Chains A and B, each alone.
Chain A
Amino acid sequence: MDSSQLLGITTFTFLFASFLYIAALVFRTENMGKAATGFTIIALLILTLGLGLRWIESYQLGIGHAPLTNMYESVVFFAWTIIIFYLGIEWKFKTRTIGAFALPLAFLAMAYASFAPINRGINPLVPALQSNWLLAHVITCFVGYAAFAIAAALGIMYLAKTSFAGKSSVDQSKELLPPLATLEDITHKCMIIGFIWLSAGIITGAIWANSAWGTYWSWDPKETWSLITWFVYAFTLHARYTRGIKGKTIAWLSLVGFIAVIFTYYGVNFLLSGLHSYGSS
């Protein structure tokens, strides 16, 4: 058994758990929800095992490094952080409805990792990536990304709920999804957590850049886009705190922010050129 098999199993378990969460949401059955949580935890364990095994495999190849160094590994790690973050929210807020939106995200990430035409090999590290800052930088960034992903999932739930609210035929959605106030509250908290971790991610990246190239900020496209993302969330938090902007606007901003995240993470590697080109191989 090697790591890629474990990661493949995880992909399908995430898909299955997604269906269970959606079914639990639609049919409102407690047991199905519990099963969904159970399968998600199992998938998380397999995924953790897979990542650990990949780490060990890299040492067996004599090029040992944490499995966080190319697009494939980072997408897998993204799925891992999304699930950890989601399970934390499920446990803290005692609601499973978010799972119907969060699990498909993790599944999509894993499916992309498994089936897209990207390099899935374990490759040695070019000299620039051989740094202790690699772990700190990647982990902080992806915890932030995961928080923003969940915030966007909640934003979609919020918008879905407000658009259903007008139509009496789908009035049942009122009970299907948590109350608007709860959704808004968790969205806000996710954005705060994401903002702090993104700040830490940008900072660790800056320190790393300074130790590798002698400049902590060079306006390379990846850096610039991470800053744009940071500004979007700074804007959102200020709009809420000081101008009392709430509800749909915040939900839309959570989506705009996440689009910026996706562009920073993914779009920049493929559409723009720069120092961060490692990620695209």
Chain B
Amino acid sequence: MQNNNSLWQFFASVKLALVTLFLIATTSIIGTVIPQKEPFQFYVSQYGPKTAQLFAILDIPDMYNSWWFISLLFLLGFNLVICSVDRFPGVWRQIKADGLQVGADRIRKMSTQKSWRSDAPVSDSVLSIKELLKKHGWQAAEKQTDNETVIFSQKGSWTRTGVYLVHSSILVIFLGAIIGSLGGFKGSVSIPETMSRDKVVLYDSREIVDLGFEIRCNSFAIEFYENGMPKEYTSSLTVLENGTEVLTRDIEVNSPLTYKGITFYQSSYEAYQDFVVTAVNTETGSRKTVVSPFQKQTEWPEENVRFGVINAKVRGQSIVSIKIWFAGENGPPSTMWLDENSLTTLDENNRNYQVRVKQMYATGLQVAKDPGVWWVYIGCGLMLFGLYVAFFMSHRRIWVLVTASDKGSAMVMSGSANKNRPGFENVFDTLASDLERT
């Protein structure tokens, strides 16, 4: 599209792209130096009330979401669109250009060139050249005029789109980001063990969003290395639809759970002073999981037993063993130390119970819905592919001009490539000497 409108020219210019890139790069630094998303008071105490006021006006405390920064990103996107619309038709013409229309004079003037003679008549030469080109992967076409024949072949004409693939990949990424911010959310939820939640709190607006299903934390566990560093946080989660279990899975950091487009990430935890007791009657198989507050009596009426936690041993930040009492219908309660979160068999009322006691936690989950993420990934893939095409692949063209001479035929072969000319010349030379030999 050739448009001489000066506004169009302004938005199509690379100068604008350079200025925008420069502005985005330099203003981005602000947010890496000034802490982001802190309350207003923080900026007052750090930078003084006047500066804090100025920051507030310029949206510095959340600069990456500010109107002016988003505008810069949009300007870059708009510039990319206009610039591509402006230039692409020209590139398309080059891709579609018929090499056979190139005049004999121009072919003779090209710098990458080789000529030779043959005893064979023109028609035989043309045939064998075309055949050999085909053997090397060059599909050739020919055109005959009064006294000469032009053979033309090309490879990778489409690679001229490389730059535009990269540019459109950025637009696809932007599109994905927009879809994500309009149709998605980011929030968090804290679920104590054995309990379930069906709402999450959004980060930015503090708004409460209904998930449309329930998510239950069956259990949470932390593993430690010998040196006390955390090794893994694991939550066992169950998805419930109208009270029925749909899906149960363990999640860890780097291994989230996705259900109906909503993903749950392990992000934090909270330790309680309560304990989770699981008891199983080994004969009947009846089982009970219950939260037992520290030093309070808990009952299991179906089995007519009572129990409670009376003491706990702590090493570092974690509880290693727990002292419980356990009593049947009649008879005195027995007390014993159990290792945290390990099965122990107890004998009560001549019935065997397997008991597991652990400290109670709430798992902290990050909850995200981002319908744009696949667009972003497609854009990223397209960008890498486009960069490879733009920098490493070229449009290579070869012409062979065959003219009748007193003894047989005379050949002039020339070629051109839009990139990596030394590489093309190597290919050209081998091809030319191969053609000459026949």
Contacts and interface: CB of A to CB of B under 8 A. Distances in A.
A91 interface: no
B230 interface: yes
A203 interface: yes
A127 B225 CA distance: 11
Interface string B35-57: 11000000000000000000000
Contacts of B253: 127-128, 130, 212
Interface in A15-70: 63
B101 interface: no
A228 B31 CA distance: 12
Contacts of A212: 253-254, 265
B303 interface: no
A156 interface: no
Nearest to A235: B21
B367 interface: yes
Contact of A203 (B18, B32, B225, B384): B384
A231 B21 contact: yes
A192 interface: yes
Interface in A213-250: 213-217, 219, 221, 224-225, 227-228, 231-232, 234-235, 238-239, 242-243
Contacts of B232: 127, 130
A214 B186 contact: yes
B383 A235 contact: no
B252 A127 contact: yes
Interface residues of A, number: 41
B32 A235 contact: no
Contacts of B7: none
- Of A206, A207, A216, A238, most buried by chain B (CB within 10 Å of CB) is A216
Contacts of B391: 192, 196
Contacts of B138: none
Nearest to B69: A219
B376 interface: yes
B413 to A, nearest CB: 27
Contact of B25 (A131, A200, A235, A272): A235
A196 B380 CA distance: 12
A199 interface: yes
A193 B380 CA distance: 17
B145 interface: no
Contacts of A163: none
B231 interface: yes
Contact of A210 (B22, B255, B373, B387): B373
B377 interface: yes
Contacts of B424: none
Contacts, number: 104
A71 B373 CA distance: 31
B79 to A, nearest CB: 11
B253 to A, nearest CB: 4
A213 B366 contact: yes
Interface in B208-259: 225, 227, 229-233, 252-256
A211 B25 contact: no
B34 to A, nearest CB: 10
A163 to B, nearest CB: 26
Contacts of B31: 219, 224
B32 A224 contact: yes
Interface in B244-282: 252-256, 263, 265-267
A130 B255 CA distance: 10
Contacts of A210: 370, 373
Given A214-B256, A214-B367, A203 B380 contact: yes
A228 B263 CA distance: 30
Contacts of B380: 203, 206-207
B388 A196 contact: yes
A88 interface: no
A199 B379 CA distance: 12
A126 interface: yes
A243 B21 CA distance: 15
A207 B366 contact: no
Contacts of B254: 127-128, 130-131, 211-212
A88 to B, nearest CB: 15
Contacts of A149: none
Interface in A227-281: 227-228, 231-232, 234-235, 238-239, 242-243, 268, 272-273
A124 interface: yes
Contacts of B387: 195-196, 199
B412 interface: no
B22 to A, nearest CB: 6
Given A219-B64, A228-B29, A238 B383 contact: no
8 contacts: A127-B231, A130-B232, A130-B254, A196-B387, A203-B383, A207-B377, A210-B373, A232-B25
Interface of B: 14-15, 17-18, 21-22, 24-25, 28-29, 31-33, 35-36, 64, 177, 186, 225, 227, 229-233, 252-256, 263, 265-267, 366-368, 370, 373, 376-377, 380, 383-384, 387-388, 391
Given A127-B253, A207-B380, 18 more contacts: A126-B229, A131-B254, A192-B391, A203-B380, A210-B370, A212-B265, A214-B370, A216-B373, A224-B29, A224-B31, A225-B32, A227-B25, A231-B24, A234-B21, A235-B18, A238-B18, A243-B15, A272-B32
